[in-house]
């Protein structure tokens, strides 16, 4: 039922109106930052399109019929979810079997919680074989009156050949199949794919809703939940991930990292990196999550610095770090340089999602920040 979806009232209205009119595009492109409900809405939409006993004039799933239950648990041929996998070029059959097992576990977690973020070790791309498989499925007929929904999560991670294969399918639409692509970085998709999909931009979640979700489902203390919701940037996934980290300690590392990174001392920078992402003894996904959190905190820091120098203190998130922010902006307070610094951090965050060399990403970011924020000696 739509009541399970947090916020996104505008998106719900658009999709409900599409159901009422009976005029659905061949594909949708759900865009917006991660963790705001794109997958959850896609799943709910699939149920609403195929519900045996729909509510609200046929625009809402009942959640109790056999069709709704099967779709909600990914046990129905009317729903297919595609997501990034690890590179398997040199994998053994054992590696492949383990990947399949992990993917099944992640889908089970997604069935229990549509807001669960599917994460597989070193999963960086959607492969050509995955798109070929769904192209074959899309060519098959379905029961009269039903609609097969194929959800391609993080569609921007499709390799070039995979995007080309999907484009052919979108150019030859099947009335029985609806494609829903989700992406937090749609600029990486072919323009032709974007033009053949109806773009629906998702909104950031209300911090109050995120706070309540953390308290009700993640057993986070209300005060801590409020703090995490404020830091989350409107993303439930970010807030949940932060809840599993020592976020206060990580914020201290941001301040220290800036001090060291802007000191022109490469030796000290490497030592600081070792404290953030050890070279050994840590799983890749664990390290990547820590780096992603760190980069989000960097971005918040630079936004706060911009707010401070722009005399927009009401929008500052790190209100308890005002002394540190004031000291920082007294030395690095040029707004144009701060904007460039924020863009550097955002690019590093994008690179983190697409490659395995996390330390190199942070080192490159630190060097670029130093070059941007520190004026060159005459």
pLDDT digits (tens, 9 = 90+) for 37-63: 999 999 999 999 999 999 988 899 999
The pTM of the full predicted model, rounded to 2 decimals, is 0.81
Q: Which pLDDT score is estimated for 378?
A: 43
From residue 324, alpha-carbon distances to 176, 268, 304, 330 in Å are 58, 20, 11, 10
Query: Strand, coil or helix: what is 172?
Result: coil
Judge whether residue 202 has pLDDT over 60: yes
To the nearest whole percent, how much of the chain has pLDDT over 70? 86
Does residue 21 register a pLDDT over 80? Answer: yes
pLDDT of 331 strictly over 60? yes
- H or E segment at 150? strand 148-152
Contact 194, 29 (CB under 8 A): yes
**DSSP calls for 62-74:** -S-SHHHHHHHTT
CATH architecture of 2-201: 3-Layer(aba) Sandwich (3.40)
Q: What are phi and psi of 182, to 5 degrees?
A: -115, 145
CB distance 80 to 137 below 8 Å? yes
- Please tell me the predicted confidence (pLDDT) of residue 282: 52
Q: Average pLDDT for residues 174-180, to the nearest whole number? A: 89
pLDDT at 256: 78
Phi, psi of 218 (to 5 degrees): -115, 5
pLDDT computed for residue 263 by the predictor: 63
Task: Please compute the mean of the pLDDT values over residues 15-36 and round it to a whole number.
Answer: 91
- The predicted structure's pLDDT at residue 340: 92
- Helix then strand count (H, E) for the chain reads 16, 7
Nearest Cα residue to 301 out of 335, 338, 353: 338
Q: Check: CATH 1.20.272 for 245-373?
A: yes
Is residue 79 predicted with pLDDT exceeding 50? yes
Alpha carbons 353 and 174: distance in angstroms, whole number: 33
Average pLDDT, the chain: 84
The pLDDT assigned to 105 comes to 83
- Average pLDDT on 285-307 reads 83
What is the CB neighbour count within 10 angstroms for residue 102? Answer: 17
Is the confidence at residue 267, as pLDDT, over 90? no
Contact 153, 39 (CB under 8 A): yes
- Calpha distance 233→246 (Å, rounded): 18
Evaluate whether 2-201 and 245-373 have a shared fold.
no
Cβ atoms 236, 220 nearer than 8 A = no
**295 Cβ partners below 8 Å, 6+ apart?**
345, 348, 349, 352, 365
Give how far Cα 195 sits from Cα of 38, 139, 159, Å.
19, 22, 18
Instruction: Using pLDDT thresholds of 50, 70 and 90, give the confidence band for residue 279.
Output: low
- Rounded mean pLDDT, 115-131: 82
User: What pLDDT, on the 0 to 100 scale, is given for residue 372?
Assistant: 87
Give the bridge partners for 181, in sequence order. 29, 152
Domain ranges of the chain: 2-201, 245-373
pLDDT tens profile 206-233: 999 999 999 988 888 898 898 889 888 8
Strand partners, 86: 123
Whether residue 275 is predicted with pLDDT greater than 90 in this model: the reply is no
Please report which confidence band the pLDDT of residue 193 belongs to, taking 50, 70 and 90 as the band edges.
very high
- Predicted local distance difference test score (pLDDT) of residue 39: 94
């Amino acid at each position: 039922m739509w009541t399970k979806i947090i916020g996104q009232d505008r998106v719900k209205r658009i999709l409900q109106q599409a159901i009422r009119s009976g005029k659905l595009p061949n594909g949708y492109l759900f865009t917006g930052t991660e963790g705001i409900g794109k997958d959850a809405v896609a799943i709910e939409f699939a149920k609403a399109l195929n519900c045996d006993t729909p509510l609200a004039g046929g625009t809402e799933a009942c959640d109790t019929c056999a069709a709704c239950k099967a779709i909600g648990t990914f046990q129905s041929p009317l729903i297919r979810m595609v997501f990034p996998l690890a590179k398997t070029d040199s994998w053994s059959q054992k590696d492949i079997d383990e990947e399949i097992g992990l993917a099944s576990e992640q889908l089970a977690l997604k069935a229990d919680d549509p807001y669960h973020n599917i994460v597989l070790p070193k999963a960086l791309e959607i492969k050509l074989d995955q798109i070929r498989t769904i192209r074959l499925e899309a060519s098959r007929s379905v029961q009269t009156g039903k609609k097969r929904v194929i959800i391609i999560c993080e569609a921007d991670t499709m390799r070039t050949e995979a995007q080309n294969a999907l484009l052919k399918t979108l150019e030859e639409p099947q009335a029985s199949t609806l494609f829903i692509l989700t992406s937090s970085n749609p600029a990486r998709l072919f323009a032709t794919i974007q033009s053949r999909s109806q773009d629906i931009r998702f909104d950031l979640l209300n911090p109050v809703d995120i706070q309540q979700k953390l308290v009700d489902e993640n057993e986070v203390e209300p005060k801590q939940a409020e703090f995490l919701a404020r830091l989350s940037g409107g993303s439930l996934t970010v807030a949940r991930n932060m809840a599993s980290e020592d976020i206060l300690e990580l914020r201290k590392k941001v301040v220290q990292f800036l001090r060291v990174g802007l000191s022109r001392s490469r030796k000290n920078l490497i030592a600081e990196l070792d404290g953030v992402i050890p070279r050994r003894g840590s799983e890749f996904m664990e390290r990547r999550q820590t780096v992603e959190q760190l980069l989000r905190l960097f971005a918040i820091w630079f936004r706060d610095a911009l707010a401070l120098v722009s005399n927009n203190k009401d929008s500052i998130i790190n209100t308890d770090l005002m002394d540190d922010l004031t000291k920082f902006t007294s030395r690095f307070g040029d707004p144009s340089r701060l904007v460039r610094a924020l863009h550097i951090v955002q690019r590093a965050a994008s690179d983190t999602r697409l490659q395995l060399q996390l330390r190199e990403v942070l080192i490159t970011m630190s060097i670029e920040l130093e070059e941007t924020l520190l004026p060159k000696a005459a």
